[in-house]
Amino acid sequence: MRIGKTACSVTAAALLAASAALFASCQKIDEAVPEQIYYIEASEPFYIRDIEPASETAAETPAEITEATVISTEITETEETSKTETETETETETETSAELHTETEKQTETTTETTTDTEIQTEIVTETLPVTEATVTETQPVQAALYEMSYPAEDTFVKPLGRTFMKDGARILSHTCSGVEFAFRGTKADVTLTSNCKTSKARVAFYVNGEYIKDTMLQNAEETFTLFESDEPQNCIISVVKLSEAAYSNVGVKSINVNSEYGIIPTPARKHKIEFIGDSITCGYGVDAADQHEAFATTNENGEKTYAAIVGKHFKADYNVISWSGIGVYSSYTESSKPNQSFLMPPTYGKTAPNDLYNDMWDFSQWQPDLVVINLGTNDNTWTRGIQERVDLFGAAYYDFIKQVREANPNAYIICSLGVMGSKLLPEIKEQVALYSANTGDYRITTFEFDYRDGVNDGFGAGYHPSAVTHQKMADKLIPFISQLLGW
């Protein structure tokens, strides 16, 4: 019976270890995943592994089991039993001797009786641990009950993507590519979303294990979407991402509802963090439009097809997008001779959400990027128009914005870029970057020029904005530049 107790103890310990490993497992990264998503590794956290005593015993022949049983019994016996076994060994040696003593014969009989008792005990143990039963292997799942559970999108349960905030019990997604991400093991996952349902409705995409499932335009104040269903429990990561920009509606993640074994947990932080600051280009304005003649709408805006998202995924980074169509540094888009300063990036950058829903200032200590990519100046050029006096005003404002970004992100490398829709202000940007470095001694900043879009061959998005092909080319040029700059 001691063998049975030992095997049970080993199995129980393994079950406890497997359960505890569930939460630790999300700290692992699958480097081979094409979509650069983090996975729960199924072979580790949910299965019993390395139970050598139980698996070896089950794999042995009946004769080997008997031998193992005797050895195990000997180990667990008291000192008195050990002494008897020592005497037995001596008597066995005496039995093979040519000279037999009468007293030795008596001891041999005793030994025979002892062996008979052991054989009886072995038979009992063999029945307790039959060889033909299923063995405990690393592919045998730990059984766990499924529970229907509902969770709020709080930091305890989800990883926020980008700048988000809690309001009235829901996590609000405002910025392009903002969202939530969580991991669980179970058979079903639903997400309930809310929206303020403006004329230009919010567009949201859903991903399961890094694979795009679907996207939708939120038509109602509250909607529930089933994102994952399975007959058997599976390890799963769910991502909810806002595709449309902050200027057009907000999304609230009201609740997450799962049939799960262990509940839900946030996915871990990724290896790198990148922040992108830009205008309509970085928003993915009209990227899903048929051509340049299709009118812009949030139905054809897709932040996940931008150079920013492509670069972020390539480097397995958590990426944060702060962008607004038409925005500038000194002047936003205008057809007037006066600068359009009704909304600008410098006062917008420090806010949690750049709209009427939430105007509190963002706590930059929550999320510190390794790299900041600024892509601004396209809209300023609609006012500067090559007039040097105006260019100088833009340059001074850009210099101050560099200082603002550096103060908020003291350890990040900064790339100041321009070009895909015109690079007329890039020389001024280069001059201001050089002046800033000379004045401050901060050389963790540089400039970068995107190639001008080739609409004839690559197509256009709405309003002559970059197409998906153009965004891919932007990423293809920026990625090696970042790799060389930062060694990623």
- Could you read off the pLDDT of 236-250 as tens digits, one per residue? 999 999 999 999 889
Q: How many structural domains is the chain composed of? A: 3
One-letter identity of residue 409: N
Distance from C-alpha of 488 to C-alpha of 475, rounded to nearest angstrom: 15
Find the CATH number of the domain harbouring 334: 3.40.50.1110
Residues 382 and 412 in one domain: yes
Residues 12 and 154 in one domain: no
CA-based nearest residue to 167, from 240, 246, 225, 253: 253
Would residue 136 count as lying in a domain?
no
Distance from C-alpha of 386 to C-alpha of 382, rounded to nearest angstrom: 9
Contact predicate 257/360, CB 8 Å: no
Digit-coded pLDDT (tens) for 368-420: 999 999 999 999 999 999 999 999 999 999 999 999 999 999 999 999 999 99
H/E stretch holding 116 reads helix 102-128
Q: pLDDT tens, position by position, for the chain (488 residues)?
A: 333 434 333 333 433 333 344 434 443 333 333 333 333 333 223 222 232 333 333 333 333 333 333 333 333 443 444 444 444 444 444 343 434 344 444 444 443 343 334 333 333 333 333 434 444 445 555 557 899 999 999 999 999 999 999 999 999 999 999 999 999 999 999 999 999 877 789 999 999 999 999 999 999 999 999 999 999 999 999 999 999 999 988 999 999 999 999 899 999 999 999 999 999 999 999 999 999 999 999 999 999 999 999 999 999 999 999 999 999 999 999 999 999 999 999 999 999 988 766 678 999 999 999 999 999 999 999 999 999 999 999 999 999 999 999 999 999 999 999 999 999 999 999 999 999 999 999 999 999 999 999 999 999 999 999 999 999 999 999 999 999 999 99
Distance of CA 61 to the CA centre of its chain: 46
Would residue 180 count as lying in a domain?
yes
* Cβ within 8 Å of residue 421, ≥6 positions away: 281, 378, 452, 453, 464, 465, 466
Residues 301 and 414 in one domain: yes
Residues 187 and 304 in one domain: no
Find the CATH number of the domain harbouring 204: 2.60.120.260
Residues 405 and 432 in one domain: yes
Residues 280 and 178 in one domain: no
Q: Which tokens hold the place of 129?
A: 């641990």
Residues 208 and 119 in one domain: no
One-letter identity of residue 137: T
The range of the structural domain enclosing residue 203 comes to 147-266
Residues 284 and 409 in one domain: yes
CA-based nearest residue to 417, from 479, 464, 460, 359: 479
Contact predicate 163/140, CB 8 Å: no
Distance of CA 272 to the CA centre of its chain: 11
Residues 282 and 426 in one domain: yes
Residues 169 and 115 in one domain: no
Sheet containing strand 272-278, strands side by side: 317-323, 272-278, 371-375, 413-418, 445-449
Would residue 133 count as lying in a domain?
no
Q: Which tokens hold the place of 63?
A: 């004769």
Would residue 138 count as lying in a domain?
no
Would residue 35 count as lying in a domain?
yes
Q: What share of the chain is helix, strand, coil (3-state, %, to 5)?
A: 40, 25, 35
Domain C-terminal end among 128, 161, 179: 128
Residues 33 and 79 in one domain: yes
Residues 96 and 61 in one domain: yes
